[in-house]
Amino acid sequence: SLRPLMDPLAYEMALAFYDHLGQDPHTRAILWSEPGRVERLYKSFEAWYRELFSGDYDDAYAKRRWRVGEVHARFGVPLSLLLPAIGQVYSLALEHLYATLRPGDLPGALEALGKVLTLDITLMALSYEGAQADGETPSAGRSLPDGRHPSGVGSRTG
């Protein structure tokens, strides 16, 4: 199990994730629009990250991951920012695995990391797109204030 190796990185991962998301002005406005929101999100992210390595990938796990995509869609966090932010998680996790594991232990760990992140990204992206298609998001079918579509597709007009 990767859990003992990866759990200690949860806070650092949360910082990197929200730093990446905060580089976008629209997303930064969402993150800091309410006092204490970012702090709550750090805790939520840490729980999400730790659960990645729980080894329990059942229906309940899938439902929680599905909900993550729906929530990001509801708040209008562009999928084009969310996915690269998860890429940050992957890059930092890879660095950690290469720095801490013996060469013989790397192939299995890298495969496990790739599988779990692929599962999470797939569930979140599908639920995100589904929420938008169903019109369950405040911005479904509309552009963000800066002219982009919430999926990150589109350009500024005017």
Q: Is 0.75 topped by the overall pTM? A: yes
Which of 105, 77, 101, 102 is closest to 18 using CA atoms?
77
Note the Cα 64 to chain centre separation in Å: 12
Using only C-alpha atoms, the chain has a radius of gyration, in whole angstroms, of 16
Tokens of 25: 């002005």
* CA gap 44, 41 in Å, rounded: 5
Quick: pLDDT tens for 105-122. Answer: 999 999 999 999 999 999
pLDDT at res. 20: 85
Q: 147 pLDDT exceeds 60?
A: no
Q: Is the pLDDT of residue 133 over 90?
A: no
28 compared with 138, residue with greater pLDDT: 28
Distance of CA 121 to the CA centre of its chain: 7
- Helix, strand, coil share (%) of the chain residues, nearest 5: 70, 0, 30
Mean pLDDT over the full length of the chain = 85
Q: Which CATH architecture has domain 3-133?
A: Orthogonal Bundle (1.10)
Question: Is there a contact between 131 and 68 (Cβ–Cβ < 8 Å)?
Answer: no
